[in-house]
Chain A
Amino acid sequence: MAVNTHLVEVRLRPEFADAEGASALGLLHGQGLSSLKEVRVSRLYELKGPISSNQVQQAAKDLLCDGVTQEYRILAPVQAPLNGMNFWRVEVWLKHTVTDPVGETVKTAIAEMGLPCPETVRCAQVYRLAGRCAKPQLERAVSKTVANPLIHRCIVSEAHP
């Protein structure tokens, strides 16, 4: 089977309060981003290896997502750029030189489900921000609060609501 890359995002359903997001919002406000109104946090899993889209769907549904409080979606590896200044998406990945324990555990768990074992699984924290701010300011604030440039790489992009 060909080596594929899949991205699975798991997030709290919108009707649930997001304590982690509220905490991140407080930290970002402390860095001067006072116009931010809301932060929601989700997990992003990058699965690489001989695993099909259907099998990824099954892993997402049965392993990665708690169907009661969470929902998931499979993302396209390359997302279309967006315009607009009111919504941002920040992905915080561990650098490849740093061990990713969550990714390792997910990899083992997928194999234990009887699915093909991915070659690698990496996990990121995703912050979905609502509110106006400038990208350089946001990048700087993120590096001082929810990410450490020493071990993390961050992708800051404009996003859908």
Chain B
Amino acid sequence: MSAPVDASADRDALCVLGKSPKDLRALAEARHLSLNDSEWAAIQGHFKLLKREPSLSEIETVAQTWSEHCKHKTFTSPIRYTEGRKTRLIKNLFEETIVAATTAAKKPWCLSVFKDNAGVVAFGKTWALAFKAETHNHPSALEPYGGAETGVGGVIRDVLGCGLGAKPVLNTDVFCFGRPDYKGALPEGAHHPARTLRGVVEGVRDYGNRMGIPTAGGAIWFDDDYRLNPLVFCGTVGLLPQWAVKKGVKAGDLIVAVGGRTGRDGLHGATFSSAVLGTDSPSSAVQIGHAIAEKRVLDALLRARDRRLYSSVTDCGAGGFSSAVGELAAHCGARVRLEAVPLKTSDLESWEIWLSESQERMVLAVPPKNLKALETVFAAEGCETAVIGEFTRSGRLEVLHHDRTVVDLDMKFLHNGLPRVSREAVWNPPPSAKPSGGAEMNIAHVLREAVAHLNVCSRERIIRQYDHEVQGGTIIKPLQGVRHDGPGDACVIWPYAATGDLEDFAGFSVAHGLNPDYGRLDPYAMAMACVDEALRNLTCVGADPSRAALLDNFCWASPEDPKQLGALVRAAEGCRDAAKGFSAPFISGKDSLYNQSKDEKGRPLQIPGTLLISALAPVPDIRKAVTMDFKGPGNALYLIGRTNDELGGSLYYKLLGRSGGTPPQVCPASALDGFKSLHSAILKGLVLSAHDLSEGGLAVTAAEMGFSGEFGCLLDLDEVPRDPRIYCNATLLFSESPSRILVEVKPDAESSFLRHFGKGAKSASVRRVGTTTANPVLKVVGLDGSSILEQSLRELKEGWQKTLPEALG
């Protein structure tokens, strides 16, 4: 039994009982606590019953645990949602959308969803894949290099702390930035988007490369509304044996901290990332990562896992020990002695040791009999270990520092005491869906502008900085084509170095879907399109779309704005319907809210509501994987999927300066039929190349396939499967209707290829739309039979390649 809490043990003990909401708000602001009035009231009520004041460490623990970052309050609290004239109550957005879709999918290969640090799916009979994508937006806005580095480090630790530990085999990175050539004013202290981009890329590069993990998947989106709030999504896939998926803490297990020492760095990361970014953001929330230290932890941890030396593990992320120990001990209890924690400097206060988010630390639950062996394993890697306490049956979180109790909290209060506050959400569709503004442009000119657009152009300058070959299993690489510089749809990884099995040719692929421009018109359509795009990309390289697992990452402005929350609800419902329609379960996800700042004139600048869908699926045979570049002249080009007049949010409208319109609408049933048929054709070796149609539509896709393979093509728009009401060549060339893939097939395989789109896929539209040619020119015949475009692919490629280097200077 520990001594009663000595509130004076913390140098700055807090006095909260009897304080007014105004005083408490001031206190929260001064200490970066991110607690609202109702949460303060719950804290006051709890400690009133205990007849004592809370200690500073207790308040900090509660604030971290209850932060948006840790508890996802917006997604789990009741919402009164009004759409048009109808109002309904959503009790728990997360349960009713994301979880509901996964439950409905009933996939036995989902081994662990929503409960661990990452989602886990089966990979063959003995292995499993853990997948997680995290955001590190707020730190990256303040210090791009350190923010991105620690973002990568954090998500690697998530996977390392998933189950009993997974070996990271792939990193992904997706960014949203302001335009690097942004010329407008910025508020004092804000970094220019070009600097943010450079720093973030260097951070991802340095951490991933030094850890020996390939960075082979990703995307970048440019929009000036991200200039003050860049988005940095870091993802990791890890491989673990299926026996290591389950973990469980037992009372009596020792709490062992491994890895880096604890310092005054990274304080208030969780609460900081749960608030609006401003000039008073704490510099202590920013850190620099130490990849080599994490690599040591990784190697030692996996060795200890295989010797089954510990019963549970988690990473020290936001909230430091308070979150890590609090989560592990949620169903039992824990007693921690802070004096046992190895420190960087000796002058840390109790709450600082308890809350510090110093990087590269993990917490293990170790049966006492295994301690010596565990210490030996970690010592061999030069990795420090320290027993900082033990798990108990008390149901309490007890923290002592030199025999003084600084935290004594009931686990039930800590994890279930958060008051659920109802929020208002409103969604009103844009007043008119009719497109307006802008002037028609010559098709060749539009195509040149489209391939050179920042959201389409080559990312080679960035991709080349990442080591995507380390571990030797990157089968389909991020850059493809005869000169290894074309844009890939997705990477394919063969993790033989981790499985040690050179006879098993099963691999996996990871792809993404993201398009905030659709979300400006309708977040529901955006969510559907993002899921569709991610699955489409997977299918193009040979992954099995019926075995796809999804991650959601929502990045939004303040949910306290009913319009923002309304859009968020609509996006979440789009995720639900897409996941149900494609029968693709969500296995994990994360939300990052409050992505807004004040611009140079003090006006609020909100990011566009942004949803990243990351998809993971097995590739049954990596030897059958397909790249996107044309393979030769005289081959047939088939277009899978129907083209509709739905150019709202499209690149074409953006180039024309046109607004409004209908964003692309997904029909999951027919889309999935098409994807499955293509997958079976790829498995039979009937497909030479495949590339999805996204920004810029058919024209950009054909151009990219052509200049990557250095062959041309002739397209006949009259053959394009389409809505019969379309009479416009430009619509057929630049529409971004989802679920479409352009496929190259050898002439002698055409009938076999088409058989895959027979009985089982009645609703899939597939038509031969053209032929590849030896001359690297893109020729298009319009609906009236006349030639409407003849464009050198060499010129298009030059434009595609020079945009980003020029923008970065």
Residues of A at the B interface (CB closer than 8 Å) are 26, 30, 94, 97-101, 104-105, 108, 144-145, 148, 150-151
Contacts and interface: CB of A to CB of B under 8 A. Distances in A.
Given A30-B809, A108-B382, A144-B195, A98 B142 contact: no
For A98, A99, A145, A148, the residue with the greatest tally of chain B CB atoms inside 10 Å of its CB is: A99
Nearest to B264: A97
Given A98-B265, A99-B344, 9 more contacts: A30-B809, A97-B284, A99-B359, A101-B288, A101-B291, A101-B292, A145-B195, A150-B142, A151-B143
Contacts of A145: 195
B263 interface: yes
A150 B143 contact: yes
A151 B149 CA distance: 14
A80 B744 CA distance: 70
A150 B291 CA distance: 21
Interface string B380-391: 001000000000
Interface of B: 142-143, 145-146, 191-192, 195, 263-265, 283-284, 286-293, 344, 358-359, 382, 809
A97 B344 CA distance: 10
Nearest to A26: B809
Nearest to A148: B143
Nearest to A104: B290
A105 B263 contact: no
A30 B181 CA distance: 12
5 contacts: A26-B809, A97-B265, A99-B287, A100-B288, A104-B290
Contact of A99 (B191, B283, B290, B291): B290
A101 B289 contact: yes
Given A97-B265, A99-B263, A105 B288 contact: no
A71 B263 CA distance: 34
Nearest to A29: B809
B142 A105 contact: no
A151 B809 contact: no
A145 B195 CA distance: 7
A151 B292 contact: no
Given A99-B265, A144-B192, A145-B195, A94 B283 contact: no
Nearest to A150: B283
Contacts of B195: 144-145
A30 B265 CA distance: 32
A122 to B, nearest CB: 12
A148 B265 CA distance: 16
Contacts of A151: 143, 146, 283, 286, 288
B195 to A, nearest CB: 7
Contacts of A148: 143, 145, 191
A151 B265 CA distance: 11
A97 B809 CA distance: 33
Contacts of A104: 290, 293
A66 to B, nearest CB: 18
B292 A105 contact: yes
Contacts of B344: 99
B710 to A, nearest CB: 30
A95 B265 CA distance: 11
A160 B447 CA distance: 54
Nearest to A98: B288
Contacts of B263: 99
Contacts of A26: 809
A101 B292 CA distance: 9
Nearest to B142: A150
Contact of B287 (A98, A105, A108): A98
A110 to B, nearest CB: 14
A150 B292 contact: no
Contacts of B142: 150
Nearest to A152: B143
A35 B145 CA distance: 28
A120 to B, nearest CB: 10
A144 B188 CA distance: 11
A94 B265 CA distance: 12
B290 A101 contact: yes
Nearest to A100: B288
A108 B293 CA distance: 11
Taking each of A98, A100, A145, which has the highest tally of chain B beta carbons within 10 Å of its own beta carbon?
A98
B15 to A, nearest CB: 28
A97 B286 CA distance: 10
B199 to A, nearest CB: 8
B809 A99 contact: no
Nearest to A143: B189
Contacts of B145: 148
A94 B145 CA distance: 13
Contacts of A101: 288-293
Contacts of B288: 94, 98-101, 151
A25 to B, nearest CB: 12
A139 to B, nearest CB: 15
